Structure 1
């Protein structure tokens, strides 16, 4: 997915008002809503328990903060489907907006205080490392997984390059927690992966050539591992 610039978001907010009424959104049944609430609370409880805080009060507060955030993200997402964003083009590329692009735009308009409540609540009871552990739960460990990929593709990363890329990926992780689907989370990471690759190019590397060399080596290794045809 191409990165969606902030200009496009601003355009959406203006056009959203100009186009009038938002298309109606189907509301879940009371039973489905209750079931979803239980699922969010269960997930939050598991994440909080995994920290092994040995403090029931602290664990309960962390669980409550995560639960509230998960529900807020879910509710915003469910009430702002991609159809609330007019179809059009990405002005930075000229490409037509995909449904995923439009959903990311819609979800990126979630009120800032939703994110602030999560981070402030976690930081009250957790160390910075524990906060990162929770953010990794939201994003299924994408920071470490992606960083491992950069090391494989660019084995001689300098300490400065590694620090720059890691900072980008951590920023992606914190932004991504406010999106509901894994496709959206991946899209947010793509924005910062592009910036990471631009950083490497600015340092005199050729990202496309490095990536091609890596993928060619992987294909060659797979081909060599295949048994010869009888």
Structure 2
């Protein structure tokens, strides 16, 4: 699995709050009332649909939860729009020495959103929902990437052990919870790459050879496709 992002992003994120950086940020035009109303309505609808999917059959609880999710979705949306990649000065990735990509810079900008936004969402969900239901809502944010990615590891790692599976599952659940604070799938996928890298490093450190397993798997897939064409 391709590595696209290093853990340095989280550490570098704090720099955009410094005076030197804030002076370089271009002014942002506030959205018009009509644009904001339309965006809010769409996010309210999304939140309502996600909560409705839980089939709680409790109107008061559904309203509380819809408000919690909608508030979070709006906070992420407006923070992202007010903090484009250009608010982070161009520089280098201190790990690779390569220039920061636009995606790197956007992730840094978005990661500086106040942590209270995330904390309020999680507290609101956990107040009214069981863990499996909270997980279901987080999966809505990330379009089921935990299960999809876990299935990939099961296919690639021969005879994956319960310990390996539980450890990787834990990493992916961390990725999911962190990724909900980012606006689009490109950013969400980049966050997952951090934890996929951790998963592969874990496998390598415990007697596996990730590159070898991955190459064996892709070769088998190619061979199967070639055989089907005959």
Q: Same fold (TM over 0.5)?
A: yes
> What is residue 188 of structure 1 aligned with on the other side?
191
> What is residue 77 of structure 2 aligned with on the other side?
74
Task: Supply the distance in 1 between the matched residues of 2:167 and 2:28 (Cα, whole angstroms).
Answer: 41
> What is residue 13 of structure 1 aligned with on the other side?
17
Shift of 1:179: 0.3
C-alpha spacing 1:225/1:96, structure 2 compared with 1 (3 Å) = same
CA RMSD of aligned residues (A): 1.3
Shift of 1:17: 2.7
Matched, 1:102 2:105: yes
> What is residue 166 of structure 2 aligned with on the other side?
163
The answer to which of 73-82 and 86-95 deviates more is 86-95
Give the paired residue count: 226
> What is residue 224 of structure 1 aligned with on the other side?
227
Which of 136, 142, 153 is the equivalent residue of 1:150?
A: 153
Off by >3 Å, runs of 4+ in structure 1:
10-14
Which of 202, 205, 210 is the equivalent residue of 1:202?
A: 205
Task: Supply the distance in 2 between the matched residues of 1:12 and 1:72 (Cα, whole angstroms).
Answer: 18
Task: Supply the distance in 1 between the matched residues of 2:204 and 2:229 (Cα, whole angstroms).
Answer: 35
SS of the aligned residue for 1:137 comes to helix
Task: Supply the distance in 1 between the matched residues of 2:166 and 2:178 (Cα, whole angstroms).
Answer: 18
TM-score by length of 2: 0.95
SS of the aligned residue for 1:152 comes to helix
- 1:44-65 deviation digits (Å, cap 9, x = unpaired): 0000100000100001111000
TM-score by length of 1: 0.95
Q: Whose relative contact order is higher, 1 or 2, with alpha carbons under 8 Å and at least 6 apart?
A: 2
Shift of 1:27: 2.8
Q: Runs of 5+ in structure 1 lacking a partner? A: none
Which of 54, 59, 83 is the equivalent residue of 2:57?
A: 54
C-alpha spacing 1:89/1:170, structure 2 compared with 1 (3 Å) = same
